[in-house]
Amino acid sequence: MAHQVICRDAGNDCDFMVRSENQDELIEMVKMHAKETHDLMYSTDDVKGVMKSA
42 C-beta neighbours (distance < 10 Å), count: 20
Give the interface size with Zn ion as a residue count (CB under 5 A). 5
Nearer to Zn ion, 23 or 29 (CB): 29
Q: What is the enclosing helix (H) or strand (E) of 42? A: none
In the bound complex, what is the minimum distance in angstroms from residue 41's beta carbon to Zn ion?
13
Interaction residues for Zn ion, span 8-47 (CB under 5 A): 12, 14, 16, 37
Could you tell me how many residues make up the chain?
Answer: 54
Q: What is the Cα–Cα distance from 40 to 14, expressed in whole angstroms?
A: 13
- Which stretches of the chain bind Zn ion, using CB under 5 A? 7, 12, 14, 16, 37
